Amino acid sequence: MTFELIDIVVADKQAHPRLAHRVTGHVRAVLSEHNGGHEQNHDLTIPVWADLSETATDEDIDLALMLKAATIIARLKARLAD
């Protein structure tokens, strides 16, 4: 059984209501599972957060949130491979 990340995008983001310089949001990811000749796609919505500087651009924020989600997905893939 193998998993492949085929899509990742920031679904939404907002400033944290109480913590300065923290952004929260959700990242949508699509994993493709290959198992015994069968393929199945899994749509995931991952809640994420990131601490950023005051000068962070929208692109910086999106990248930080997607990197956080990618780390979570890597842990999930490793766990499923056990």
The string of pLDDT tens digits covering residues 12-23 is: 999 999 999 999
Widest distance between CA atoms in the chain? 49
Q: How many folded domains does the chain comprise?
A: 1
> Can you give the pLDDT at residue 73?
93
pTM: 0.87
Q: Is the pLDDT of residue 1 over 80?
A: no
For residue range 7-62, list pLDDT tens digits in order: 999 999 999 999 999 999 999 999 999 888 899 999 999 999 999 998 999 999 99
- Provide the residue range defining the domain that includes 18: 2-81
Beta carbons within 8 Å of 50's beta carbon, 6+ residues apart = 22, 23, 61, 64, 65, 67, 68
